[in-house]
Amino acid sequence: MPHSRNRNPSPIPEVTWDTGLKEMNETWKGAIACLGVAVFFVMTIGIIYWQVVDQPNKNWILKGSFSGLIWERRTQTLVIQTLTEDKTFAEIVVENVGNTDIEVPFVRNMCWLNKTEFCYTWDSVAEVKISLESEEDSDTECYSVTWTPIHCHVDLKDCFSMVNISWYGGASVHAPNWPINEANISMQHFTVSDLRDNPSGFGSVLERYFLGSSGVSVLVAPNIPLHVGIESRQQYCLQTPPSMERMPLQYTVCVGHNIRAVHQESMQQLSTARRELPNMDVLRLPFWKLLANVDSGAKLERELRTFSNRLKRHHLGEGVISLDEHSTALLANMDHSYLNSKKRTSKRKTRDLPFVKLLNISITLSPYLSVDSQQFQTSIQEGIEDYWLSLPSGAQGRPVPLLTQWKGKYSVKLNISNPEATNWFLEKVDSFHSHLGMEYVILEGSEGNPFEEQALRLPLAWVGDEYIRLLADLAERIGDNAIVTSGTRSSHKALFIRMSALQSDWSYSGLKGIIPSLLHYSLLGYSFFIPDAVGGSLSAELVADDELFVRWLEIAAFLPVISFQTPPWVLNLTRFYIAKHHDFVIPLILKYAEEWQDTGNPIYRPLWWLSPNDPITFTIDDEFLIGNEVLVAPVTEKGALQRDIYLPESDFQWQDTNNAQMFDGGTFLESYPVSLGDVAVFVRWRS
């Protein structure tokens, strides 16, 4: 057939392909058509078979210098392994892909020609972007993961397997475990709560940081709403709930050659600000909690005088007498009425005021104010309602203070984002100092979120634990005599933190929980803490178990501060361990505090710090290290006069400070004798 235009300029002559086709009958045409259908059918079956049956179960989607990221399609899991596949760092079960009964096909990278990024979209569900970050001078590699929902009804949820991996970090809890694998916590807001009111929640220290024994860490972005849940021995899960803003789920997974190496690198990312040392004078004196059930300032002063004289009579030395918020208010109100009274003729008040100022006391304040107080009524009359957390403006355009409860009273909470409100609070602290001359100020009550507790729409300014972070800023402005009761993103600040109250028993809610708690606090960066009183203070009942008191005292003596509350004080032993703390422990803390400031390495360390490749050390929860040179192994079982002790690091020897015996590292001491009144303490020596 002629063409109007020459489409083949080649000198090769064109050929007319019409030989024999015109003569093909209908039978042959039908046969060829059937053959075509058959070929198409076979090809379709082949493609389906390749995608569903013959296709490899896994494919590498990113590769670094020593690790890589694998997608396992049948289990819908992201796996980080060494390139030689001889070690698995982490397994992440992806629950963001819709129906888990439908197998996700062989995924393909949509970030074309980019070997350090992986992109993929699950239709109508979510899209993911993973970036590989590696520095030449670093021994770690990091994978930054961002899931973004396609629409506002999508739950984003990733779960990290606990099989064959011991996990640490996250938050303190009511009955702490080390590692956290044994915990069982329902999915909930990952925010600090008061464990007295919410024992199933997360406690006073919380960071969006998890660490695995395989040499893996997980850091979650700080500015997204986050829920966390732990399924005992199975997995822990990160989740962002559906939202109109389509908030992403963002986290970074870093892997290294061992757990200590990846932790040291991750701490530089977790706390980018310069670390500041707190007031180390806090270490030098024990804290004595005064339990005074009185209703007037005059009665409280009598209690203070009696308590102070009792300490002197028993030769327990100086200490800081710690007042709760109720006692603080009584003393301040009495002092305030005295200073502002026109008739200052009372000889008793004139005599008592200097005595109060001569004592070392700590007062307790909170950002709450009772609606029955004169101060609150005055604030309403003066039109400064914005000093308190408020609901949207009322009919007259004025904010409506948000009503909540604090210690059994209806209260409002300080709007800590208002500079005028914080200045008012600081003036209040200055007034207390001039009246009482206190040594320390304890700020409590930052835990919890009134908006979330009352299911109100949360202002963006108060997402997560922003209130706690701002209260830490306020504590810094008070000075180096401030102590806080909760912390998040504030481990670098020059502050001591008071640990949660414990039960007066031998359980993980009591004595057994002390060492897991101090290891969690230290791992999250909080090396300077004031533990609960010896014997526990969660119950209003007095400690009645002498053995419990003694074994508790033996642990507390090696912590930064010793706190006491009530007898039994077992006087000779108490004096001995107060002196032991002062002469042996404080110099160690001061030495390793400088290392913490320079590197972020914790002062109190788990045994795997010295043996990061020794699986035995991953689950030991009743021993701890002070720096790299002292190992403390207290008795935590009722009635026990012996215990098993593991000494880490085979290249060193350990000497028992009680009897000077030497032992090789990397060995068990079975049924090692530890009498009541003694604690096993070992000092490391190079072999």
Residue 256 lies in a domain: yes
- pTM, 2 dp: 0.87
Residue type, 225: P
The pLDDT of residue 58: 82
Residue type, 142: C
| Contact assessment for residue 55 and residue 110, using Cβ atoms and an 8 Å cutoff | no
Query: What span, in angstroms and rounded, lies between the C-alpha atoms of 519 and 298?
Result: 42
Q: Which three-class secondary structure string do you get for 270-315?
A: HCCCCCCCCCHHHHCCCEEECCCCCCCHHHHHHHHHHHHHHHHHCC
The pLDDT of residue 43: 58
Q: Do the bridges between strand 167-171 and strand 320-322 make them parallel or antiparallel, or are there none, so unpaired?
A: unpaired
| Contact assessment for residue 143 and residue 132, using Cβ atoms and an 8 Å cutoff | yes
Residue 231 lies in a domain: yes
For 163, the token pair is: 């099989």
Residue 141 lies in a domain: yes
Residue 510 lies in a domain: no
Q: Total structural domains in the chain?
A: 1
Residue type, 139: D
In this prediction, residues 326-336 reach a mean pLDDT of 78
Residue 631 lies in a domain: no
Buried b (16+ CB within 10 A) or exposed e, 411-445: bbbbbbebeebbeebeeebeebbebbebbbbbbbb
pLDDT digits (tens, 9 = 90+) for 55-95: 467 889 999 999 999 999 888 899 999 999 999 999 999 98
The CATH number of residue 234's host domain is 2.70.98
Query: What span, in angstroms and rounded, lies between the C-alpha atoms of 490 and 468?
Result: 9
Residue 40 lies in a domain: no
Q: Helix or strand or coil: residue 318?
A: coil
Query: Tokens 């028992």 correspond to what residue?
Result: 656
For residue 587, with 0-12 CB atoms within 10 Å meaning exposed, 13-18 middle and 19 or more buried, which class applies? exposed
Residue 563 lies in a domain: no
Of 119-133, 584-598, 613-627, which range is least confident?
119-133
| Contact assessment for residue 201 and residue 208, using Cβ atoms and an 8 Å cutoff | no
Q: Helix or strand or coil: residue 250?
A: strand
Fill in the DSSP letter of residue 115: T
For residue 188, with 0-12 CB atoms within 10 Å meaning exposed, 13-18 middle and 19 or more buried, which class applies? middle
The pLDDT of residue 31: 58
pLDDT digits (tens, 9 = 90+) for 156-178: 999 999 999 999 999 999 999 99
Of 102-111, 245-254, 320-329, 517-526, which range is least confident?
102-111
Mark out the alpha helices in 437-545 (DSSP H runs): 450-453, 466-478, 514-523
For 357, the token pair is: 């100022």
For residue 37, with 0-12 CB atoms within 10 Å meaning exposed, 13-18 middle and 19 or more buried, which class applies? exposed
For 39, the token pair is: 């070929």
Residue 224 lies in a domain: yes
Q: For residue 153, give its domain range.
A: 60-270
Query: What span, in angstroms and rounded, lies between the C-alpha atoms of 639 and 38?
Result: 81
